[in-house]
Amino acid sequence: MKIYRIKGMSCSACAVKIEEGLEKYGVRAKVNFVSEKLVVEDDNSVDIVNIVSKLGYELIKDNENIEEKEVNLLPIGIIAIIVLILAMFHIQNSEYVQLILSLIVLILSRDILLIGVKSIFKLTFTMYSLISLGVLISFLYSVFNLKNNLIYFDGICMTIFIVLLGKKIEKRLKKNTSKAIENLTNIIPIKENIEIGTVLSLNKDMVASFDGKIIEGYGIFDEKLITGESKQKIKRENDRVYAGCKLIDGSIKYVVDIKKEDMVIYKIKNMLELACEIQSPITNFTDKVTKIFVPTVILIAIVTYILGRSINNAICVLLISCPCAIGLSIPICLVVTIGSLAKKNILIKDGSAILNATRIDKIVFDKTGTLTKGKPSIKDIEILQEDIDIVYNMEKNLSHPLAKAIKEYLKRKYVVEDKDIKVRNYQGLGVGYSDYLVGSINLLKRKGIDVSEINNKYDDLSKEGKTVILISKYKEIRGLVTLIDDINDNTPLFINYCKENHIDTSILSGDNMYTTRYIADKLGIEKYAFEVLPYNKSRYIENILEKNKVVAMVGDGINDITAINSADIGIAINNGAVPTLETSDVVINDLMDIPVLQEYSKLCLKYIKENLFFTLIYNIFGIMIATGIFGIQLTPMIASMCMILSSISVLLNTLRLKRSCNR
């Protein structure tokens, strides 16, 4: 994945134009108009910089600190005021002075005018196409009518000044709305030119600047920025350090082992930015409108001139139209919402999850680590001394909470010898090594082991909500581990929330019938499926989707990947490791984050509808007024002022959303 900054975009039509231009060369890419970023997923070994340059834009590598040149507004503003005064007071023979001053303004603003002219010749229309066309037609018309004193030099200068001023304000407002996402990496101390293999030191109260592996020392870390967990973590030699995490106590040395752009914090930031670019019926509608908007406006301007013989009205039609506001309406709201959720450690990978969150009809839960704490404790263990090392080494590299509990218990209670052994993983059932099996009663049954002696005990323990893991060798049961995983404190609260909001709930578990039923009964969940293997969970979700319900699947993101990917909204509970954004649409820390997601989703949709309603009404009535059919005569200066104000009003309205989210 490569990330670039784009210079020269004027509206969302530019973003669509760049994506389509790259697609012709087989390049998969996404453009975020708000953050002005291009993310290339697969460049197909083509020269992306050259392709984008031919489209009329400039690319800068995201990690390059190149200052962007901005047009100096002061001389343009001063000239525009002088020309306006000359025009207002009808100073004799001042038209030639106005011509020269207008020419200077055109030269100073040549960058945006050239972008617009190029886009017209390439038939890839943008907002700058309308501005360039309006300004240049006004200038040429004024030059040819100097003697008749039919000139628009004041309108030309003021239009350019207002447009540039408006774009400057718009840029600052956009930066303000996306600040929450941008601030994710601002906490990291800047260290340039650090190569892989460099050893860095970290002392108390310092923040890590790179990802790496500890080679010396011991420390207590605050990893909330990465994992969302407020609990501090103890780290030793060979443990990983993540950029942005603070060392609360201790002192370590660690070696940088990945590039800056591959660091976890940057991956999270990039994913949050990409989440703003989504495909949904509402975004497809605005994309279609944006693509045909500029050609339609040019056609209306031509018809206006032909029917009314008014060059002034035609120019005003070009200048009053605002495709930028239409294109901004959705992504700017998503940026604000995603950034606000990130502040609450709710991470969004797919922006459509925000639009769909209010429509959830059914939530399907994995049991372990979702409804329960995911940190099972061992209540009883029966194991032979000679099996301790083997069982420990079979479980030590597994990520399942039950395996972790057994491993940690054996390491704490006994002296174990670390060995590298290759285990057979029976998904959702257990593991095997040589003649050993460690897993559920179903695994032993499948392997033809007689479990009649243990059956009654197994059922009795399961009815108490306990999970039973069996140990066998040579088809003989040699041990038993009993574990219990307590229900999360907020789980009953969330189930009540679902009932109050008429959201159907069910459990999808790989555990046995008795343990699953015990949890379901305790929480008042009527529907549950048990002994469902990981690869069958997706079928369960697909069956529900066939009933035209909007389904959210909530799991730990490890054993539920297929089910999470199959649901309309895949939600992973953060398990304290690096958030599994690749396997879900949303990462949360607690089930009570889902009501927050839904609340923000409602706010986001409300402001998107407000923005779209305003921009569509503005453009329809603005263009009609500019044509002169209501008998109102605008000047190019007023028309361009209205165009800029429409974009700024969308951004200001979105700042209201930001304030609502931060309450």
Judged against a pLDDT cut of 90, whether residue 184 lies above it is answered with no
453-457 long-range contacts, CB within 8 A, separation 24+: 453/477, 454/480
CB atoms within 10 A of CB 96: 9
What rounded mean pLDDT belongs to the chain? 84
CATH 2.70.150.10 spans which residues of the chain? 198-258
pLDDT value, residue 427? 80
Give the residue, 392 or 579, on which the prediction is more confident: 392
State the Cα torsion 26-27-33-36 to the nearest 10°.
Answer: -150
324-333, 448-457, 536-545: which has the minimum mean pLDDT? 324-333
pLDDT digits (tens, 9 = 90+) for 347-377: 888 888 888 898 999 999 988 888 988 788 8
**Residue 321 neighbours by CB under 8 Å, 6+ apart:** 130, 293, 294, 297, 619, 622, 623, 643
Mean pLDDT of 33-50: 76
pLDDT digits (tens, 9 = 90+) for 312-323: 899 899 888 877
Q: Are 265 and 226 in contact (CB under 8 A)?
A: yes
pLDDT digits (tens, 9 = 90+) for 282-308: 666 776 777 788 889 989 999 999 998
Tokens of 211: 């990802």
pLDDT digits (tens, 9 = 90+) for 254-288: 999 988 878 888 777 777 766 666 556 666 677 67
Between CA 645 and CA 651 the distance in angstroms is 10
Mean pLDDT of 434-449: 91
State the amino acid at position 187 in one-letter form: I
- 62 — pLDDT class (breaks 50, 70, 90): low
- 28 — pLDDT class (breaks 50, 70, 90): confident
8-12, 111-115, 469-473, 655-659: which has the minimum mean pLDDT? 8-12
Question: Selecting from 1.10.287.3610, 3.40.190.10, 3.40.1110.10, 3.40.50.1000, what CATH number does the domain 377-484 have?
Answer: 3.40.1110.10
User: What would the DSSP string read from start to end of 141-198?
Assistant: HHHHTTTTT---HHHHHHHHHHHHHHHHHHHHHHHHHTHHHHTTTTTSPP--SPPTT-
- 66 — pLDDT class (breaks 50, 70, 90): very low
CATH 3.40.1110.10 spans which residues of the chain? 377-484
CA geometry: angle at 411 spanning 405 and 413, to 5°?
A: 95
- Domain 347-373+487-588: top CATH class: alpha beta
pLDDT value, residue 424? 92
Give the residue, 15 or 248, on which the prediction is more confident: 248
State the amino acid at position 377 in one-letter form: S
What's the order of all strands across the beta sheet hosting 37-42?
A: 28-32, 37-42, 2-7, 58-61
Identify the CA nearest to 401 among candidates 374, 378, 441: 374
Residues paired with 473 in a beta bridge: 436, 476
Between CA 395 and CA 408 the distance in angstroms is 10
State the amino acid at position 536 in one-letter form: N
Identify the CA nearest to 364 among candidates 589, 513, 516: 516
Q: Is the dihedral of CA 100, 102, 108, 114 positive or negative?
A: negative
Mean pLDDT of 632-640: 85
- Domain 2-61: top CATH class: alpha beta
Judged against a pLDDT cut of 70, whether residue 19 lies above it is answered with yes
pLDDT value, residue 394? 93
The CATH architecture to which 198-258 belongs is: Distorted Sandwich (2.70)
CATH 3.30.70.100 spans which residues of the chain? 2-61
Q: Are 243 and 264 in contact (CB under 8 A)?
A: yes
Between CA 74 and CA 165 the distance in angstroms is 10
pLDDT value, residue 563? 85
